[in-house]
Amino acid sequence: MKNLNYFVPVFQVALSAFVLPLLGSSSLLANPVNVIVGLEVKIPVTARTAASLGNRRGNGIVIDDEGRALTIGYLILEASKVSLADVDGKTVPATVIGYDRDTGFGIVQALTTLQAEPVALGDSSKLQVGSQLRVVSRETDSVPQEVIVMDRENFAGYWSIYWKMPFLLHQLFQHLRGPG
């Protein structure tokens, strides 16, 4: 597994931080975990990425009332089956809507009703070094964790991804167990 143990948490934290920067939405601040869904993806054994990535688990952020969720694109590449888990743990089938190679993000859509609140996208260009954010994961007992933006610089990944001015984060709590 080409050192993905490092990259997976970094990208999922970046995804959450990209859209959850302490927004003024009272519903988000009251219970930010309501916007996060768990993502489980099955990959055919014959898929090109099956040997290196296998089946995948991650997070998505609900972005509209139709059950669409933004996620990291590699999670959904070559997917044969996708499911989403809401805040109550209810799992529903989903489908891949699209993958954007330029940003590395993907969109999935729940095929049935999902118990989740959509979040308005934030403006990450306003984040500066020292900004405080909260990251949330379906994998961390649904407890928001605070992080600080430590740096902002262009990022090019070896897998042909380029992000202009993403942020490098430092966690304030030692028990942030991976994905954001």
Is the C-alpha dihedral spanning 70, 73, 74, 80 positive or negative? positive
CA dihedral 124, 136, 175, 39 (to 10 degrees): -120
Q: Are strands 56-62 and 68-72 parallel, antiparallel or unpaired?
A: antiparallel
Residue 18 confidence (pLDDT): 45
Residue 177 confidence (pLDDT): 38
Q: What is the pLDDT of residues 99-111, one digit of tens each?
A: 888 778 899 999 9
From residue 15, alpha-carbon distances to 22, 62, 88 in Å are: 14, 12, 22
Residue 82 confidence (pLDDT): 96
Topology given in CATH for the domain delimited by 1-180: Thrombin, subunit H (2.40.10)
Q: What is the pLDDT of residues 59-112, one digit of tens each?
A: 898 999 999 999 988 889 889 999 999 888 899 999 999 988 877 889 999 999
Helix, strand or coil for residue 32? helix
How far apart (Å, rounded) are the C-alpha atoms in residues 15 and 167? 10
pLDDT in tens, the chain (180 residues): 333 333 333 444 444 444 444 444 444 445 667 788 989 999 999 988 888 887 888 889 899 999 999 998 888 988 999 999 988 889 999 999 998 887 788 999 999 998 888 887 777 777 788 888 777 777 655 677 777 888 777 777 665 666 666 656 656 544 443 333
Reading the block at residue 55, the tokens are 């089946």
pTM of the complete model beyond 0.85 = no
Reading the block at residue 153, the tokens are 């610089």
The domain limits of the chain are 1-180
